[in-house]
Amino acid sequence: MTPLELKSFIQRRAYELGFNGVGIARVERLDKEADRLRQWLNLGNHGTMSYMENHFEKRVDPAELVPSAKTVISFSFNYHQADIKRKEGSLKIASYAFGRDYHKVLKKKLKILFREIEDIQGKVVGRMFTDSAPVLERQWAAKSGLGWQGKHTLLIHPKKGSWFFLAEIISDLDLPADAPIADHCGTCTRCIDACPTQAISPKGYLLDGSKCISYLTIESKGPIPETFKEKLEDWVFGCDICQDVCPWNRFAKPNQEPDFQPHPDLLSLSRKDWSEMTEERFDELFFATPVKRTRYQGLRRNIDFVD
Ligand code: SF4
Ligand code: SF4
């Protein structure tokens, strides 16, 4: 197969496996992004996520992860829960966490694709990632034309919105690269204005992770600082606000992935059900979902904080 034919095969199979975007970028050290990351870390915007300081070179140079790498193939996977009707006054979790743990779901699909590529191409030196290693996923996805990084710093596609997971294959496959697409945020400031904790800088494109509700309710292990009392707006695991208000998400379509459908009881939980949630109920509802990351004690802390 020619590189172009192989690229078409990868695109076609990725779509058949359920991904909604595929883009390719040539491997290079991300010098500009490295400077921005250094600045972000120096500002302490990573809070207590000290792992963000580790493996700096690996994070900014994929050749440190796969020494013979030529390309980064980025994939997007839709998780949009289009018709969420949460019970009025109930507590909220981010919609990416409704279904099965995406790390497992996406990795399985990437493995299938990787095997099929090797069936055609012979041995490929490469690794697969989905939020699972020091890879600047959004930056690679932006470079390969999967969208632009909006003022909230998430990736947005002009026809698909921003509700997607990202995954990558970094390998020695020599494939034609795609071009980035333009930033369409324009003068919009909806995400900045709507963020209840002012985590997005006033000019956008910079997120103080230590103020983001996702960090406060998932990553941060200690007590949530009292300064955030009344600011979490009933979110107890992650937050969807900046994506909910983004005008580009009017183009988002509901996901079709059976593994990402919510537990039937999840959306009917009342505020009282959340308040009274036991460890057994937590296990039933969140056993295989991203929410298990906080364990019962973490979710309990969050529920008690907002309740
Ligand atoms: S996820 Fe929520 S808290 Fe975090 S930046 Fe977006 S709106 Fe703000
Ligand atoms: S809400 Fe507006 S400013 Fe924020 S990411 Fe979307 S388009 Fe950009």
Per-residue pLDDT tens over the stretch 111-168: 999 999 999 999 999 999 998 788 999 999 999 999 999 999 999 999 999 999 999 9
Tell me the ligand closest to 252's alpha carbon: 2
In a domain, 245, yes or no: no
Q: Which residue type is seen at 221?
A: K
Which residues share a beta bridge with 21?
76
In a domain, 295, yes or no: no
Q: How far apart are CA 42 and CA 216, in angstroms?
A: 20
In a domain, 196, yes or no: no
User: Kindly report the CA angle at 131 between 16 and 161, in degrees rounded to 5?
Assistant: 60
Dihedral class, residue 233 (left if φ above 0, else alpha if ψ from -120 to 50, else beta): left
Residues of the chain above pLDDT 70, percent: 100
In a domain, 150, yes or no: yes
In a domain, 189, yes or no: no
Q: How far apart are CA 239 and CA 94, in angstroms?
A: 5
Confidence band, pLDDT 50/70/90 cuts, at residue 292: very high
Tell me the ligand closest to 96's alpha carbon: 1
Residue 160: which of 260, 73, 257, 79 has the closest Cα?
Answer: 79
Q: How far apart are CA 19 and CA 144, in angstroms?
A: 15
What is the position in ligand 2's atom list of the atom closest to the CA of 194?
A: 1
In a domain, 88, yes or no: yes
Residue 75 phi/psi, 5-degree rounding, is -130, 145
pLDDT in tens, 234-257: 999 999 999 999 999 998 999 999
Residue 89 phi/psi, 5-degree rounding, is 80, 5
Pocket flag, ligand 2, residue 206 (CB < 6 Å): no
Q: How far apart are CA 154 and CA 144, in angstroms?
A: 15
131 is a catalytic site residue: yes
Pocket flag, ligand 1, residue 94 (CB < 6 Å): no
Which residue in 131, 234, 244, 259 is the catalytic one?
131
In a domain, 110, yes or no: yes
pLDDT in tens, 162-176: 999 999 999 999 999
Confidence band, pLDDT 50/70/90 cuts, at residue 186: very high
The reported pLDDT for the residue numbered 6 is: 97
Question: Ligand 2 test: best mutation among 148, 190, 240, most atoms within 8 Å of CB?
Answer: 190
Domain holding 20, by residue range, is 3-171
Q: Which residue type is seen at 293?
A: R
pLDDT in tens, 46-99: 988 888 888 889 899 999 999 999 999 999 999 999 877 778 889 999 999 999
Pocket flag, ligand 2, residue 277 (CB < 6 Å): no
Long-range contacts of 57-64, Cβ-Cβ distance < 8 Å, separation of 24 or more = 58/133, 58/134, 59/134, 59/135, 59/136, 60/29, 60/30, 60/31, 60/33, 60/34, 60/136, 61/28, 61/29, 61/30, 62/27, 62/135, 62/140, 62/170, 63/27, 63/29
The reported pLDDT for the residue numbered 146 is: 98
The reported pLDDT for the residue numbered 293 is: 92
Residue bearing the CA closest to ligand 2, atom 6: 246
Residue 282 phi/psi, 5-degree rounding, is -60, -45
Pocket flag, ligand 1, residue 216 (CB < 6 Å): no
In a domain, 95, yes or no: yes
pTM higher than 0.85 for the full model? yes
Split into its structural domains, the chain has a count of: 1
Mean pLDDT of 254-261: 93
User: Kindly report the CA angle at 101 between 299 and 199, in degrees rounded to 5?
Assistant: 55
The reported pLDDT for the residue numbered 115 is: 98
Which residue, chain included where needed, has tokens 């979710």?
299
